[in-house]
């Protein structure tokens, strides 16, 4: 096997064994801040835990718009427990 092929195989093995990374999603709402949070967290993988929420309220034409970012960490995989 060529050294370059060995490098890529080792890299692939290391990356596939790496833990899952945290995620985030941003969503907006014209209804409420809690609706924007619900919209953003609806795309979280099952079992994930919310680690932070950041919301911004924007006033435009005398009405409020809400934009929230939800950060999460994924649920531990079965081998991590």
Residue spans per domain, the chain: 20-76
Per-residue exposure over 61-78, b if at least 16 CB sit within 10 Å of its own CB, e if not: eeeeebbbbbbbbbeeee
Q: Which two tokens stand for residue 20?
A: 């899952």
Q: Assign 61 to helix, strand or coil.
A: coil
What's residue 64's pLDDT? 94
Mean pLDDT of 43-69: 94
Write the CB contacts of 47 (distance below 8 Å, at least 6 apart in sequence): 74, 75
Helix, strand, coil percent content, the chain, rounded in steps of 5: 35, 35, 30
Mean pLDDT of 6-12: 45
Mean pLDDT of 13-37: 76
What's residue 3's pLDDT? 59
Report if pTM > 0.85.
no
What's residue 1's pLDDT? 59
Higher pLDDT, 1 or 24: 24
């Amino acid at each position: 096997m060529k050294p370059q092929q060995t490098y890529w195989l080792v890299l692939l093995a290391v990356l596939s064994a790496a833990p899952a990374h945290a995620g985030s999603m941003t969503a907006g709402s014209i209804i409420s801040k809690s609706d924007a949070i619900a919209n953003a967290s609806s795309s979280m993988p099952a079992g994930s835990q919310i680690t932070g929420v950041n919301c911004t309220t924007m006033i435009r034409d005398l009405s409020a718009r809400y934009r929230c970012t939800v950060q999460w960490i994924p649920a531990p995989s079965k081998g991590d427990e």
